[in-house]
Amino acid sequence: MTVGSTFGCSSIETRKEAMEGEAIQCIIFPKDVDSFIGRLQEGLVYIIEGVSVIPADEIFKTVPHQYQLQITKETEFIVSDEDNDDYPTTYYNLVGLHAIQDYNKYKERLIDVMGILVYVGNVIPLENNWFLKQDIIILDQSCIAIRMTIWDTFILEIGKQLLQKKDHIVVLLACGWQVKNFNGLFLSTERFSRLYMTHKDATTINLVQWYANDNFAQRKSKSICNSTLSIHHTLLTSNAHRTTIKKFGTIRTVRILH
């Protein structure tokens, strides 16, 4: 079972994986949350007794399944002491950053993405310090860069680490983020979101190796960091369609109306 952080919210989201890697969303409603805070640990395998099968939420699912499991204070979690090597201890279903351009496909889903951290903005207080906001930018092997906005508790837990690592090759794995469209497409933390720095697996290793050997990606990262434009206009310029001189004449031209 993979357990998502509550970050102070009144519900807990979990993902349960079977041996073949299939996942189902589990939900603990506010009245039962206090019974489980601090009891579940990500990466452990549990035997779960006493859950209800209910239809999954129609929007903002963390996994694409038609059902979800409802956990109540009567539900029992028993840590398995058997050989659990066949069970995945983490789960994510990555969406490439180029695919997020299809906003209508993802606007009602929570998605997982992975990319190289290329820009870290300063923490910005909003509404007389009631809210905190911080913008970061990641880049993946499609060479598409996208803005990610982290809020409040996320900033307190990871914001300083991001600033300290901005000059290093850092891979971010973001799970359960919402796609939004305001001054361009971007990803935003929600109550079920998680964020990992340099998550260790084969995908991370391949991403680091690609970035270390791709001069274009490195130049693109540098240009984003040095840009004096707003993040929105920087990404509009940076994510322009790439082509060669030979293929330029075959690209369809579009008249832009102002």
Provide the pLDDT confidence category of residue 144 given band limits of 50, 70 and 90: very high
What range does the domain containing 157 cover?
99-238
pLDDT digits (tens, 9 = 90+) for 63-113: 778 888 899 989 998 888 776 667 766 667 789 999 888 877 787 788 899
- Whether 56 is in a domain gets the answer yes
- d(CA 15, CA 56) in angstroms, rounded, equals 13
Share of the chain above pLDDT 90, in %: 24
Angle at alpha carbon of residue 60, lines to 149 and 76, rounded to 5°: 110
For residue 41, tell me if it sits in a domain: yes
Average pLDDT (113-130) is 88
- What's the full length of the chain, in residues? 258
Which CATH number characterizes residue 113's domain?
2.40.50.140
Q: Average model confidence (pLDDT) for the chain?
A: 80
pLDDT per residue over 190-208, tens digit each?
A: 877 888 887 778 888 999 9
- pTM for this model (two decimals): 0.73
Lowest mean pLDDT among 1-5, 11-15, 161-165, 236-240: 1-5
Between CA 74 and CA 37 the distance in angstroms is 14
Compute the 3-state secondary structure of the chain and give helix, strand, coil in percent, each to the nearest 5.
Answer: 25, 30, 45
User: In this structure, are 64 and 11 located in the same domain?
Assistant: yes
Distance CA 26, CA 194 (A): 16
- The total domain count for the chain is 2
User: What does the pLDDT look like over 17-64, one tens digit per residue?
Assistant: 544 557 788 888 888 888 888 888 877 888 888 889 999 877 777 777
